[in-house]
């Protein structure tokens, strides 16, 4: 039996806390080994500064379709977790701004806590915007590759967009 080791970089996943929470929500158990989140013998997630790299080994038991499903589910759940984290920070920030009579914080501590929460929220919002931009660039690059290859093979490409989905229709020239 043969197998192939492949890697896929998910540049849109930069917040590792959200990645781990997404795995928990998908009921995917993992262990941490250095910079890797090990899901199974065949699938590992490597923490990179530019995102997460999925390293997987395809074999008879584990095909590309299973890895693609995992990546799709993980990406969707990650986006939900990231959005919830941003909203939670916004609510916490608003609560601290409204509640000037907190007993556990003196005025300076309260303002420092408010600044910390605001910094974290702004950082996560910046990460989300950057992830969206990188995803659009990746989609555009892949679309251009598809068009070049199709043209090389004698096809004309018609592009159709509906909402978030872009469909390329190949027509024999």
Tens of pLDDT along 19-42? 889 889 999 888 888 887 888 777
Q: Which domain holds residue 51?
A: 4-148
Is 119 part of a structural domain of the chain? Answer: yes
Is 58 part of a structural domain of the chain? Answer: yes
Provide the whole-model pTM. Answer: 0.60
Distance CA 62, CA 144 (A): 30
160 is written with which tokens?
Answer: 């159709």
Contact 19, 52 (CB under 8 A): yes
Is 67 part of a structural domain of the chain? Answer: yes
Distance CA 124, CA 13 (A): 11
Band of residue 2 on the pLDDT scale cut at 50, 70, 90 = very low
Is 92 part of a structural domain of the chain? Answer: yes
Count of domains forming the chain: 1
Is 165 part of a structural domain of the chain? Answer: no
Is 163 part of a structural domain of the chain? Answer: no
Band of residue 1 on the pLDDT scale cut at 50, 70, 90 = very low
Distance CA 117, CA 120 (A): 5
Is 130 part of a structural domain of the chain? Answer: yes
For residue 18, the SS3 value is helix
| CA distances in angstroms from 152 to 101, 112, 140, 157, listed in the order given | 69, 60, 18, 11
Is 81 part of a structural domain of the chain? Answer: yes
Band of residue 112 on the pLDDT scale cut at 50, 70, 90 = confident
């Amino acid at each position: 039996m043969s197998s192939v080791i492949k890697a896929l970089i998910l540049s849109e996943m930069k917040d590792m806390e959200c990645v781990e929470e997404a795995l928990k929500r998908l009921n995917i158990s993992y262990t941490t080994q250095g910079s890797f989140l090990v899901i199974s013998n065949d699938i590992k997630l490597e923490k990179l500064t530019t995102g997460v790299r999925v390293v997987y080994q395809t074999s008879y038991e584990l095909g590309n379709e299973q890895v693609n499903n995992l990546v799709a589910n993980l990406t969707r759940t990650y986006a939900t977790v990231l959005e919830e984290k941003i909203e939670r920070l916004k609510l916490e920030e608003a609560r601290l701004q409204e509640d000037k009579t907190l007993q556990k914080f003196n005025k300076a501590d309260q303002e420092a806590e408010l600044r910390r929460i605001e910094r974290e929220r702004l950082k996560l919002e910046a990460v989300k915007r950057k992830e969206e931009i990188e995803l659009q660039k990746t989609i555009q690059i892949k679309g251009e590759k598809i068009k070049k290859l199709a043209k090389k093979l004698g096809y004309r490409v018609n592009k159709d967009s509906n909402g978030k989905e872009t469909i390329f229709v190949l027509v024999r020239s």
